[in-house]
Amino acid sequence: MEEILYDEIPSLDLADFYGDDPAKKKKFVADLGAAYHNIGFAAIKHHFLTAELQDKLYAVIKNYFALPDDVKKKYERTALAGQRGYTGKGKEHAKGRNTGDLKEFYHVGQELPAAELAKEGYPENVWPDEVPGFKAVANDVYRALEKTGTYMLRAIALYLELPENYFDDKIKNGNSILRPIHYFPIENPDAVPADAVRAAEHGDINLITLLMGASADGLQVLRRDDKWIPITALPDQLVVNVGDMLERLTNKKLKSTIHRVVNPPRSLMNTPRYSIPFFMHPRSEMSLAALPDCVDAEHPKAWADITAGEFLDQRLREIGLKK
């Protein structure tokens, strides 16, 4: 495939995929595949997250992060390696770094009956008593993004010449995470480590990430020629990118591109930024062994076989959330 250097990430219409026009569906699959092969990111409109739901979620998470630190810490569950509830300021760092990112966040996972959670090996969600409506809106957003991600993975499956529903059973009750993030204001920039940033350069762990519009600029993607380009989701779009699990599964045919959230100018360091990604994970037992059609003489197998659960455990240790 021809290598393309994008100046901005491609914008695609998901309705072309789930609509009734076979030609539009075919073109969406081809365009998405090209975007994910070349830069690993695409902006998607006509997804299933409404503006109303998005606004409601931003409202409740701002209320939560405005709580005093000692109240927020009531919902921190260190034994869960940050996989549910609150994770405090500076506790996560990028792989290969020791300096913590200038952020705090909250994790919401599958909301299932207790018996189902036990069967899947997932912990229960943690809900803050101080923020009415958090649970209801977070679960509604989770389902809307999970549905959108299901369609995106169906398009990816067709691009890979797999059955359209290839991923469906692998993501049903998957270990996906909704992560509201607060990049907190820094009143005194000289008081933080010189190399501290809002989110150091990293690749995502999961299959795909779905990101709704952030409250401020700052997200940048590293192009293949080592140029950083800014990414901004328009209000009606989701930015959807390839994660490390999908790159591994496709033996680098689809790119998990390095990205970061840079600090604002010094004069704006005392302003907050909010962002809400949805990390779409499969079930823990899914194999990430390279698909046979993605391996050939020119593209030898890049990684040893591993399951999604094993890979997640490995990466949680590398980013400081699991000891």
Least-confidence region, from 59-63, 149-153, 155-159, 216-220: 216-220
Q: What is the CATH number of the domain that holds 74?
A: 2.60.120.330
Is 1 within a domain?
no
Residue-wise pLDDT tens digits, 100-154: 888 999 999 999 999 999 999 999 999 999 999 999 999 999 999 999 999 999 9
Q: Are strands 11-13 and 41-45 parallel, antiparallel or unpaired?
A: parallel
Asked if pLDDT for residue 5 goes beyond 80, the answer is no
> Residue 216 has what pLDDT?
64
Residue 85: inside a domain = yes
For residue 136, tell me if it sits in a domain.
yes
In degrees and rounded to multiples of 5, residue 43 shows phi and psi of -100, 130
Query: Residue 16: inside a domain, yes or no?
Result: yes
What was the pLDDT predicted at 295?
Answer: 96
Name which of 108, 57, 43 is nearest 80 in CA terms: 108
Q: Which domain holds residue 52?
A: 11-318
Domain membership flag for residue 3? no
- Burial of 265-290, coded b for 16+ CB within 10 Å and e otherwise, reads eeeebeeebbbbbbbbbbbbebebbb
- Residue 186: name the closest of 102, 106, 66 by CA: 102
Reported as a pLDDT band with limits 50, 70 and 90, residue 50 is very high
What domain count does the chain have? 1
At residue 263 the predicted structure's pLDDT band, cuts being 50, 70 and 90, is confident
Query: Does the CA dihedral 222-225-230-231 come out positive or negative?
Result: negative
The predicted pLDDT at position 320 comes to 77
Instruction: Report yes or no on 6 lying in a domain.
Output: no
* pLDDT bucket at 99, cuts 50 / 70 / 90: confident
DSSP result, 4-17: ---SS--EEETHHH
Torsion of CA 208, 204, 225, 197, to 10 degrees: 140
Q: Is residue 4 part of a domain?
A: no
Side chain identity at 233, as an amino acid letter?
Answer: A
Q: Evaluate whether residue 212 is within a structural domain.
A: yes
